[in-house]
């Protein structure tokens, strides 16, 4: 079976990847049992059927623009991409905080990665396309102008037809972890939706509504560590510290290397006066980060922002050793070398970044080549003086 990637490109560069969780969920969270605050819910939590309901006018457009004119499923995939992004159709725009139902996405023309993925999969299935939600545990997205943005989760679409597979992703500049996208169940996809909504309400201070959504997430997928982690954050904020402890422990039981839960649980145990357990979890987190190229890359970027270029080089080098084919990591190392005054090593890493950009990344390769040419000219002028 041959594999290939189909990238849904937007009219504008997004400023952040559309992850399966908004920024609030990068805060550690885990939870055990639901608390009584759910009785204070201000609005009902939508059912999966309500979240994925296709509005009649969108269904009519799907029939007219995708189903009727297409001869093959492959053509339908391409036409569906056009339906979603073309200016004379939905003209979807990226919004990292738009965890929308399908109807809301249709009405606002805005979606984050999760909303886009749920919509694409739903419309694809209505057009008789084999489509599924896929999950990536960790990603880094990199843009020439906006810099580096991190998060711990990402979802995209997997489609299959004629013995081939394709990936439809809202972000064309995302670096997946070494395991890549993995299909997940529809129930877990819904858990992502409820978890996002819960995190958004928690960030807004609406704890009752946040709990309603987090409870719904865990009802859909009880083995969802991000949901338990977020529930732990909520219980901590509401002062239910013993409950929060159980939440975090549940998250770590499900995923012992869950960095957010390790961070949050360690802080909670220290607050509870259990220094032994707090230190134990902090040490586990350090071991996890030591073997995590994404964490090392983040540390390198933070050191670079502090102008500590020697430390940045150290972290970037480790990221490269752990994930040698990530052009973003080589570019970070090249930048740190250059800022530290080592133009020779900077040129070497910039060349490696350009070569790793891939045949389907012409713009990025051109960007690296331009930076490499500039660096080489700078070296020549320096040598002549």
Separation CA 37–CA 175 (nearest Å): 39
Superfamily classification of domain 293-384:
Tetratricopeptide repeat domain (1.25.40.10)
Task: Determine the topology of domain 1-291 in CATH.
Answer: 1.25.40
Q: Which residue has the higher pLDDT, 4 or 65?
A: 65
Instruction: Report pLDDT digits (tens) over 294-342.
Output: 899 989 999 999 999 999 999 999 999 999 988 889 989 999 998 898 9
Q: For residue 352, is pLDDT > 70?
A: yes
Q: What is the mean pLDDT of residues 195-218?
A: 94
- Give the domain ranges of the chain: 1-291, 293-384
pLDDT for 132 equals 96
Picking from 362, 335, 360, 366, the residue whose alpha carbon sits closest to that of residue 350 is: 335
Q: For residue 30, is pLDDT > 70?
A: no
Q: What is the mean pLDDT of residues 230-251?
A: 97
Picking from 277, 107, 351, the residue whose alpha carbon sits closest to that of residue 285 is: 277
Residue 127 pLDDT level (bands cut at 50, 70, 90): very high
pLDDT for 381 equals 64
Q: What is the mean pLDDT of residues 129-156?
A: 67
Q: Give the contacts of 140 (CB within 8 A, at least 6 positions apart).
A: 148, 149, 150, 174, 175, 294, 297, 326, 328
Asked if the domains 1-291 and 293-384 are classified in one and the same CATH topology, the answer is yes
What is the widest separation between alpha-carbon atoms in the chain? 75
Separation CA 337–CA 346 (nearest Å): 5
Instruction: Report pLDDT digits (tens) over 331-351.
Output: 899 999 988 989 889 989 988
pLDDT for 18 equals 32
Separation CA 341–CA 375 (nearest Å): 11
pLDDT for 351 equals 87
Separation CA 82–CA 64 (nearest Å): 13
Q: For residue 50, is pLDDT > 50?
A: yes
């Amino acid at each position: 079976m041959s594999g290939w990637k189909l990238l849904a490109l937007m009219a504008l560069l997004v400023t952040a990847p559309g992850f399966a969780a908004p920024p609030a969920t990068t805060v550690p969270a885990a939870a055990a049992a639901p608390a009584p605050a759910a009785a204070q819910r201000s609005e009902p939590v939508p059912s999966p059927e309500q979240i994925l309901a296709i509005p009649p006018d969108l269904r009519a457009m799907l029939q007219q623009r995708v189903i009727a004119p297409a001869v093959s499923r492959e053509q339908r995939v391409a036409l569906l991409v056009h339906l979603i992004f073309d200016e004379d159709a939905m003209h979807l725009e990226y919004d990292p905080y738009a965890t929308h139902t399908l109807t809301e996405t249709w009405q606002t023309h805005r979606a984050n990665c999760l909303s886009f993925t749920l919509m694409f999969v739903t419309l694809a299935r209505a057009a008789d396309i084999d489509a599924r939600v896929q999950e990536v545990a960790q990603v880094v997205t990199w843009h020439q102008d906006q810099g580096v943005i991190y998060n711990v989760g990402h979802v995209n679409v997997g489609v299959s037809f004629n013995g081939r597979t394709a990936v439809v992703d809202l972000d064309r500049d995302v670096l997946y972890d070494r395991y890549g996208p993995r299909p997940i169940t529809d129930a877990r996809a819904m858990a992502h939706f409820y978890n996002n909504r819960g995190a958004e309400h928690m960030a807004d201070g609406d704890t009752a509504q946040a709990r309603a959504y987090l409870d719904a997430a865990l009802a859909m997928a009880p083995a969802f560590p991000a949901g338990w982690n977020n529930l732990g954050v909520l219980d901590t904020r509401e002062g239910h510290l013993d409950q929060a402890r159980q939440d975090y422990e549940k998250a770590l039981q499900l995923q012992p290397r869950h960095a957010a839960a390790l961070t949050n649980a360690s802080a909670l145990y220290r607050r509870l006066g259990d220094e032994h357990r707090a230190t134990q979890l902090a040490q586990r987190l350090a071991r996890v980060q030591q073997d995590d190229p994404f964490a090392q890359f983040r540390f390198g970027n933070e050191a670079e922002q502090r102008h500590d270029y020697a430390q940045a080089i150290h972290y970037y080098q480790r990221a490269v050793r752990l994930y040698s084919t990530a052009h973003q990591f080589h570019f970070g190392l090249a930048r740190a070398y250059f800022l530290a005054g080592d133009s020779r090593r900077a040129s070497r890493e910039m060349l490696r970044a350009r070569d790793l950009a891939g045949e389907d990344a012409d713009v990025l390769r051109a960007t690296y080549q331009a930076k490499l040419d500039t660096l080489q000219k700078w070296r020549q002028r320096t040598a002549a003086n």
